[in-house]
Amino acid sequence: MKIIVDQDKCVASGQCVTAAADVFDQRDEDGIVVLLTDNPSEDLAADVHQAAAVCPALAIVVED
């Protein structure tokens, strides 16, 4: 599983952190997405896919 985030598209909603806090975080100053790991363990796959799906800017792409 490989995760790509587009910080330019990100709208800082934080929905990804709500879905998968072990994988995503937000910058303190502006809330833009920060990837904690771009290749998380498989047991987080469902959460990561949920994060990508709920992102209101579609700024997260997951490649299995």
Residues that bind other proteins (CB under 8 A): 11-15, 17-18, 26-28, 30-31, 49, 53-54, 56-58
To other proteins, the closest distance from the beta carbon of 54 in angstroms equals 6
Radius of gyration of the chain (CA): 10
To other proteins, the closest distance from the beta carbon of 37 in angstroms equals 19
Q: Taking the chain, what is the end-to-end CA distance rounded to the nearest angstrom?
A: 4
Q: Where are the beta strands (DSSP E) in the chain?
A: 2-5, 24-26, 33-35, 60-63
Name the residue nearer to other proteins (CB basis): 31 or 44: 31
